[in-house]
Structure 1
Amino acid sequence: MHKLEDIFEARDFIFSKTDSRPTIGMILGSGLGTLADEISNPVTIPYSEIPHFAKSEAVGHANELVIGELMGKTVVAMKGRFHYYEGYTLDEVTFPVRVMKALGVENLLITNACGAVNTSFSPGDLMLITDHINLVGTNPLIGPNNSELGTRFPDVSRVYNPDLRNLATKVAIKQNIQLQNGVYAWWSGPAYETPAEIRMIRVLGADAVGMSTVPEAVVAVHGGMKVLGISCLTNMACGILDQPLSHDEVIEVAGKVRGNFVNLVKGVLEEI
Structure 2
Amino acid sequence: MPSDQEYTRLQDILSAVRQQSQRIPRLALLLGTGLGAIADAIEVEVRIPYQQLPEMPVSTAESHAGELLLGTVHGISVVAFSGRLHCYEGYAAHEVVVPVRLARLLGAQYLIMGSAVGGLDPRLQVGDVVVLEDHINAMGVNPLVGPNDDRIGPRWPDMIEPYDQGLLSLAHQQALSHGLALRSAVYVAVLGPNLETRAEYRMLRNWGADVVGMSTVPEAIAAVHCGLKTLSFAVVTDRCLPDALEPADISKIIAAAQSAEPTITTLLSSIVPQLQEM
Query: Structure 1 length as normaliser, TM-score?
Result: 0.97
Alignment RMSD: 1.1
Is the Cα contact below 8 Å between 2:28 and 2:112 reproduced in 1?
yes
CA apart distance, 1:3: 2.3
Is the Cα contact below 8 Å between 1:110 and 1:217 reproduced in 2?
no
Aligned to 1:215: 218
CA apart distance, 1:158: 0.1
Identity of aligned residues (%): 36
Query: What is the CA–CA distance in structure 2 between the aligned matches of 1:242 and 1:166, rounded to whole Å?
Result: 34
Consecutive aligned runs of 4 or more in structure 1 exceeding 6 Å deviation: none
Give the secondary structure class of the aligned counterpart of 1:221: helix
Give the secondary structure class of the aligned counterpart of 1:193: coil
Larger mean Cα displacement after TM superposition, 153-162 or 12-21: 12-21
Is the Cα contact below 8 Å between 1:119 and 1:240 reproduced in 2?
no
Please list every run of 5 or more consecutive structure 1 residues that lacks an aligned counterpart in the other structure: none
CA apart distance, 1:238: 5.4
Cα distance per residue 1:141-179 (max 9 Å; x no partner): 000001121111110000000000001111111111100
User: Which amino acid in 1 is paired with 2:86?
Assistant: H
Q: Residues 33-52 of structure 1: matches in 2 within 5 Å? A: 33-52=36-55
Aligned to 2:57: 54
For the pair 1:242 / 2:277, whether they are aligned, the reply is no
Is the Cα contact below 8 Å between 1:101 and 1:225 reproduced in 2?
yes
Is the Cα contact below 8 Å between 1:194 and 1:238 reproduced in 2?
no
Give the secondary structure class of the aligned counterpart of 2:191: coil
Give the secondary structure class of the aligned counterpart of 1:171: helix
Query: What is the CA–CA distance in structure 1 between the aligned matches of 2:238 and 2:187, rounded to whole Å?
Result: 14
Q: Residues 114-263 of structure 1: matches in 2 within 5 Å? A: 114-237=117-240, 239-263=242-266
Aligned to 1:22: 25
Cα distance per residue 1:123-157 (max 9 Å; x no partner): 11111100000011221100000112111111000
Is the Cα contact below 8 Å between 1:63 and 1:79 reproduced in 2?
yes
User: Which amino acid in 1 is paired with 2:155?
Assistant: R
Query: What is the CA–CA distance in structure 2 between the aligned matches of 1:180 and 1:5, rounded to whole Å?
Result: 40
Give the secondary structure class of the aligned counterpart of 2:142: coil
Is the Cα contact below 8 Å between 2:148 and 2:154 reproduced in 1?
yes
How many pairs does the alignment contain? Answer: 272
Q: Residues 98-113 of structure 1: matches in 2 within 5 Å? A: 98-113=101-116
Assess, with a 3 A threshold, how the Cα gap between structure 1 residues 103 and 240 changes in structure 2: closer, same or farther.
farther
Query: What is the CA–CA distance in structure 1 between the aligned matches of 2:121 and 2:105, rounded to whole Å?
Result: 37
Match of 2:94 among 91, 95, 109: 91
Is the Cα contact below 8 Å between 1:85 and 1:188 reproduced in 2?
yes
Query: What is the CA–CA distance in structure 1 between the aligned matches of 2:88 and 2:245, rounded to whole Å?
Result: 26
CA apart distance, 1:111: 1.2
Is the Cα contact below 8 Å between 2:239 and 2:245 reproduced in 1?
no
